[in-house]
């Protein structure tokens, strides 16, 4: 079956792509460059894509910076060294308004064009920082939207939203990726890399990644600034 | 109240903006340039915007052409001189996969940033060509998505989706616009204008516009190729 995979160059979306591949699907990758400060992700998406051997890989550029509202698309400071408790209770300033809604909408357009059966997304609720658009209830409503808002849906076809990592811990995601041979050294997670693209090691995304590797008992193969 | 209005430069979205203005809201306009062949719309959106006196007007560029699937974003022929019966029963090739889902997602990001209470969209089911993403059931699910997929929604605020033209005929929309002083001469509807931006007069969108003006007993002030 043709499936669309949202691939950012990050660890979660790479493991998600590997799972879709393992399930025997033909992969059509979609990478959205949305004006994020960690644009180095997009280079990683290209390298990771080569490993996934997709049928096609589309890039969409759109600049959300003008809309503001996030530390990832503006010059707001990225929070550093937040405690686990803070990370689990507060929606941080790195939240990008409606990001997954936008990503899934673009993937939906691509999926409809390809007559694809599913969209794969690396959404995850366990380790993440309370982003509302990573929750199962959000994904359920988007499934409904995919049915009602497309020609294919009206014609009786389903475009499913698959989030295979949804309730896994970061350590479980890493273990899963390891079993599928995911090239973790090609992935990028940091929200605030330096000019050379090196990860900071202290933003939420780096902390969650490092804790995940530690809990999985594996060394993270990417370099950090400190 | 702050509201976001999706403004394309077309007749419906201009009347929608005029209604939101009349209701006393502070307007934040959003125009999406999505690689449509009738890009002249965007020039119209700028002129119409000046008349609406918004607080701000954001433009987002994203090219959906690479995803294919529509006569509006590829080199497929635009259907001409279709009968009313055909227009009311067949979803045409000018359907752009998931377009309103994408537009509403971007508007949702903007609305959340502004703490806006509503998004206004010129969706209409009466005269249009069976586009699935113009139906009330689609808009109802998007309302639900706006609640579940945003930080503001989780905090208990509502971002409503307002489609004041939803069940009006084109003639009724034109009458409404007339009563609000809408500058119809600044609006553009044609899917397939010539290089000078002049409307073809025979695509679905031109036919529906021309029939609307005729039914409303008013002359359409824009020039046509024939």
**Burial call B149-160: b when 16+ CB within 10 Å, e when fewer:** bbbbbbeeeebe
Contact in structure between A200 and A189 (CB atoms under 8 Å) = no
CB nearest to A67's CB, from B91, B113, B138: B113
* Number of neighbours of residue B168 by Cβ within 10 angstroms: 18
Alpha helix positions (H), B53-203 = 84-89, 99-114, 136-148, 151-154, 170-179
Q: Check A67 against B133: CB less than 8 A apart.
A: no
Q: Does pLDDT of B112 surpass 70?
A: yes
What pLDDT band is residue B154 in, cutting at 50, 70 and 90?
confident
Dump pLDDT digits (tens) for A51-110. Answer: 999 999 999 999 888 888 888 888 888 888 888 888 877 788 888 889 999 999 999 999
Contact in structure between A196 and A154 (CB atoms under 8 Å) = no
Residue A197 to residue A193: CA distance in whole angstroms:
5
Contact in structure between A8 and A82 (CB atoms under 8 Å) = no
Dump pLDDT digits (tens) for A144-200. Answer: 999 999 999 989 999 999 999 999 999 999 999 999 999 999 999 999 999 888 999
Q: Does pLDDT of B81 surpass 70?
A: yes
Distance from CA of A224 to the nearest CA of B (A): 31
Q: What is the mean pLDDT of residues B81-95?
A: 83
> What top-level class would CATH report for the domain B2-216?
alpha beta
CB nearest to A108's CB, from B91, B101, B109: B101
Q: What end-to-end distance do the CA atoms of chain A give, in Å?
A: 44
User: In angstroms, what is the C-alpha Rg of chain B?
Assistant: 17
Predicted ipTM of the assembly: 0.92
Q: Check B113 against A149: CB less than 8 A apart.
A: no
Beta-carbon contacts of residue B24 (< 8 Å; ≥ 6 apart): none
> pTM here?
0.93
Distance from CA of B177 to the nearest CA of A (A): 27
Mean per-residue pLDDT of chain A: 91
Q: What is the mean pLDDT of residues B125-139?
A: 82
Beta-carbon contacts of residue B23 (< 8 Å; ≥ 6 apart): none
List chain B domain ranges. Answer: 2-216
Q: What is the mean pLDDT of residues B11-21?
A: 97
Residue B70 to residue A123: CA distance in whole angstroms:
29
Distance from CA of B145 to the nearest CA of A (A): 6
Mean per-residue pLDDT of chain B: 91
Find the helix or strand (DSSP H, E) in which A47 lies. helix A40-52
The listed range with the strongest mean pLDDT (B4-18, B37-51, B60-74) is: B4-18
CB nearest to B151's CB, from A62, A132, A141: A132
Q: How high is the pLDDT of residue A190? A: 92
Q: Does pLDDT of A129 surpass 70?
A: no
Q: DSSP string covering B4-32, please? A: EEE--SSHHHHHHHHHHHHTTPEEEEEEE
Dump pLDDT digits (tens) for A15-67. Answer: 999 999 999 999 999 999 988 876 787 888 899 999 999 999 999 999 888 88
Q: How high is the pLDDT of residue B127? A: 61
Dump pLDDT digits (tens) for A174-185. Answer: 999 999 999 999
């Amino acid at each position: 079956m043709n499936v669309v995979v949202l691939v950012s160059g990050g660890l979660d979306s790479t493991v998600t792509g590997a799972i879709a591949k393992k399930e025997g699907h033909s992969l059509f990758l979609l990478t959205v460059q949305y004006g994020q400060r960690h644009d180095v992700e997009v280079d990683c998406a290209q390298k990771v894509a080569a490993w996934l051997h997709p049928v096609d890989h589309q890039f969409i550029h759109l600049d959300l910076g003008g809309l503001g509202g996030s530390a990832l698309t503006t010059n707001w400071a990225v929070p550093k060294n937040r405690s686990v408790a803070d990370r689990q209770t507060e929606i941080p300033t790195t939240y990008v308004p409606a990001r997954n809604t936008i990503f899934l909408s673009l993937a939906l357009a691509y999926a409809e064009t390809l007559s694809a059966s599913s969209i794969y997304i690396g959404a995850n609720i366990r380790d993440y920082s309370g982003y509302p658009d990573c929750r199962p209830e959000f994904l359920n409503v988007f499934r409904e939207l995919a049915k009602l808002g497309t020609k294919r849906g009206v014609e009786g076809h389903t475009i499913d939203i698959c989030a295979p990592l949804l309730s896994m811990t970061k350590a479980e995601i890493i273990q899963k990726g390891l079993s599928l041979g995911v090239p973790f050294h090609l992935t990028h997670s940091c929200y605030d890399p330096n000019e050379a693209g090196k990860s900071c090691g202290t933003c939420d995304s780096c902390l969650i990644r490092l804790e995940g590797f530690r809990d999985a008992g594996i060394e993270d193969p990417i370099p950090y600034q400190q």
